[in-house]
A and B are shown apart, each in its own frame.
Chain A
């Protein structure tokens, strides 16, 4: 546990660590005998090919994430990955916008380059800015925090801060709640800045077979697990309720 309700889980998975690209995810299998559960998808938070390790940054929400948060050292879990498309290469002067647990894929992205880049990390309050600062301590990365109640960093939402900074951005990369992503979309579109977002939908197979995880896009329904989870922001159609 890194904060109440959040944990950082490191696993030995040499093949995944070697192949992983920022924005990709892993299905964690939940075999539990007569009470099976579907595998749970998690973004790769960190991959270290040298040590053969990957890690996840997990917000405990229900039974599956609770099981993972309670995982003990030396336990074996079945993993499938890396899955999905991942983010495209990040140009100099990119802006990363994270909301809550949406920080996970962006930390991996930020760690993939030494280029100049700025991370905006927003949450309702300071207690929700749970990512360990050691994980954000990356060469050349500047982090700006935003909380809605002003308890840490700037007072306001991540998109409000993005609105101030977007003029200087070459590209935007974002992950977080639907409402936030919708706001990121309108800012990117109105400023003509290219943007990519990592989206979530409930999954079953995780590999593109069942067409269960689709979202609405400008090009029809697309599978989050196979065609995504990263989409060009202008493609994604956000419903008002998300």
Chain B
């Protein structure tokens, strides 16, 4: 194949339908690293993205955790931002209008300290022009109340999802935590309670100690690990979740190349999201799109759907 062929996959179809959201490409920005999109729009053409999932939004503004909030690990990143966000009213007024014409779909990550707060944020976001779906974050390890507490207990997960479901017709994706012993039960609980899709993984709980100062490196003591270090763990959990449910799965955790992304698709993910990888290389989403299209072309596939879950079928896992 010559170079011209390699760069011309215009006829190839990278579109996917994630929980009722039609995505131009299967590469999304994960919630958090890109904030509300303003800054990365200068570095990255958002039309190449399936969607941006904006950083977690609560009812009132949250100030976030004490610094330092970041620490680099071997092939990974530990963060304890603590869901600092300006609150839902500010988001609707100041962030959403710019996102509406950014050239990509918008999924809003919802957080709260109580089921009532999740429901209240959801109802404020419901029906707003420019919001294509919601990702309910029941998996943040960096906040004391709420967050991960809901996502580690299948009963609490089901209750929360039912409550939020009543507030909106928007596609509902539930974001799961890897900090559980059995991802399948939580995945099934979310599906039964009315989720349209699942996304995973959020970060793995962890910490580091500064031996010079003899104290934890992060201001919050504990943080969440992301980046290539977590990729095999994430892949396994996506595999397991995809086996447990019929709704589509958005895979993420350490994706840093087109090959990583393909592995998630082959494990059963409908689409993938990039978080930490964007820090290493803001051009990563474009690279992944190219790599996926190149793979489909080389292997003679017409769409990504043909490779979704293939590794599972190879193993007779379905």
Q: Using a CB–CB distance below 8 Å, which chain A residues touch chain B? A: 29-31, 34-39, 80, 201-205, 207-216, 220-221, 226, 241
Contacts and interface: CB of A to CB of B under 8 A. Distances in A.
Interface string B46-87: 000000000100000001101111111001010101001000
A69 B70 CA distance: 24
A34 B228 contact: yes
A214 B80 CA distance: 11
A204 B70 contact: yes
A240 to B, nearest CB: 11
Given A35-B75, A39-B279, A204-B77, A209 B67 contact: no
A31 B280 contact: yes
Contacts of A211: 35, 55, 64, 69, 81, 84
B32 interface: yes
Interface in B264-295: 276-282
Contacts, number: 93
21 contacts: A29-B281, A31-B280, A34-B75, A35-B75, A36-B227, A36-B256, A36-B280, A36-B281, A37-B280, A201-B68, A207-B39, A207-B43, A209-B35, A209-B39, A210-B79, A211-B69, A214-B67, A214-B69, A214-B84, A221-B84, A226-B39
A221 B86 CA distance: 12
Contact of A202 (B71, B81, B276): B71
Contact of A214 (B33, B55, B64): B64
B67 A201 contact: yes
Nearest to A212: B70
Task: Tell me the interface secondary structure of chain A in the complex.
Answer: loop
Chain B interface, >50% SS class: loop
Contacts of A214: 64, 67, 69, 84
Contacts of B35: 208-211
Contact of B63 (A203, A212, A220, A241): A220
Given A36-B75, A204-B279, A216 B67 contact: yes
B213 A209 contact: no
Contacts of A30: 280
A29 B37 CA distance: 20
B219 to A, nearest CB: 9
B93 to A, nearest CB: 19
Nearest to A30: B280
A210 B56 CA distance: 11
